[in-house]
Amino acid sequence: MTHIVFTAFSNRQDALGLARDIGSELEQDGATSSVHLLDGPLLPVLDSTSLVVSLGGDGTFLRSARLAHGAGARVVAVNLGQVGFLLNVASTEVAAHVRRALSSDVVDERLALSITRSGSIAEDFALNEVVVERASPGHMVKVRTYVDGDEYLTYSADGVMVATATGSTGYNFSAGGPVVEASLALMILTPIAPHFTIDRSIVVSATSLVRLEVVDNPAELVADGVSIATIQPGDGVEVRRNPSPVRVVATGSFDLSARLRRSLREGHA
């Protein structure tokens, strides 16, 4: 039997109340559920049959997707935020979409990234983007980029990111990168505030191996907005397609065009 795990941050009383209400409603159908606090000390018990229901904004979804991906579980993306570029389920539709997910295995498979640091065999994970950025204010970082072993551009900038199509509407968008339909299998290299160099993004195949090498000053390695390591000059990170996608429950209700108009204040949904 599929166990439902509602995920939220402890300060989101609206999300926690919604989880309790919908959990009680679904239990009348024979389903079991629990609530996991993303900022709590414990990890949820998940397996490939679990259904993770993310209640919050994009940040909540990224944390929830990481948990679901590690277990091979599916994730439902509920929008309790203002824009929610990554989210396609309204708070009023949660119960209906969860019921549909319990009776169907249809998912959208989102490309995720594996990150390997120099001198380490351990891999980190990102769904949106990997960023090598300056470690201290007032100092740029020089980053040399490679794709499949071929040297590309060297940037003096606030940082350089590798984004997925899912992450194209996040930091990549803010840095001037292209918006890409989330189902496309590709990676986007986007410099952040580059100095005296090309400021355009480079789009490469999802099968590519991207290397970001720090040339001069130490840099921070950030995955989906979370700092995970300091990279020293001469070292770097390799970014490649994760062999397992993030399995987002398909709803068919994601309207990217309306969200872009609303975000850019060019119209209203």
Three-point CA angle 130, 134, 135, nearest 5°: 105
Structure tokens at 5: 């795990």
Structure tokens at 232: 């020293």
Q: Which residues on neighbouring strands pair with residue 110, listed in sequence order?
A: 246
Tokens 């939220």 locate to 8
Tokens 């024979």 locate to 30
Residue (of 96, 57, 103) closest to 78 by Cα position: 57
Cα–Cα distance for residue pair 163/113, rounded to 1 Å: 9
If phi > 0 it is left, if psi is from -120 to 50 it is alpha, else beta; for residue 94 that is alpha
**Annotated active-site residue in 29, 39, 58, 255:** 58
Tell me the backbone φ, ψ of residue 129, rounded to 5 degrees. Answer: -160, 160
Residue (of 194, 202, 198) closest to 132 by Cα position: 194
Long-range contacts of 119-122 (CB under 8 A, 24+ apart): 119/235
Tell me the backbone φ, ψ of residue 117, rounded to 5 degrees. Answer: -90, 155
| Residue 21 annotated among the catalytic residues of the structure | no
Structure tokens at 263: 């975000």
Return the active site residues. Answer: 58
